[in-house]
Amino acid sequence: MKVAVWDTYVKKQDGNVIHFDVVVPDYITDFRVVYKFAGEYLKSRNLTEVELNTKNCQFCHIESITDTIKNDIESKGFHIIEMEEIRSQLPHNPTRREMILYLRAHCENYRYADFREKSEEEIRQIIQKLINE
């Protein structure tokens, strides 16, 4: 079985952002169905004030699945992969990964950006520019 993975970032009231993937059968291409499933997950986490849209939930890729994911899809129609909660503030000496996650979580322009060719210093400069705006 192949599935479609939808990358999702949702800001909580405390400013932190939760990052999770919505996994659905690959034949589900209607974003409204995916948003419905993401909404069910958010409701289970008592995060009902969130509006899902193309800026915070986008198709990412197709992949093969594990038995656990297959069982969830067969029983619920979807599966959620919890990734991480990204704090509203960067730590004092952030790692490259923490800086990239911060940008993706808190800056829509960088949410799905490719940082592979950017140096750590370039990433720091992007963050500094955003802070100064």
Tell whether pTM > 0.85.
Answer: no
* Amino acid 133: pLDDT: 74
pLDDT digits (tens, 9 = 90+) for 82-110: 998 999 889 999 999 999 999 999 998 89
pLDDT at 86: 92
Positive or negative CA dihedral for 110, 113, 115, 119? negative
- Which residues are registered as beta bridge partners of 59? 6
pLDDT digits (tens, 9 = 90+) for 14-47: 889 999 999 999 999 899 999 999 999 999 988 8
Task: Return the sign of the alpha-carbon dihedral for residues 129, 53, 58, 18.
Answer: positive
pLDDT (0 to 100) of residue 130: 86
- Give the tens place of pLDDT for each residue, 39-68: 999 999 888 788 888 889 999 999 998 999
Domains of the chain from N-terminus onward: 1-86 (3.10.510.10), 89-133 (no CATH)
Q: Which residues contact 34 (CB under 8 A, 6 or more apart)?
A: 4, 6, 22, 24, 28, 57, 78
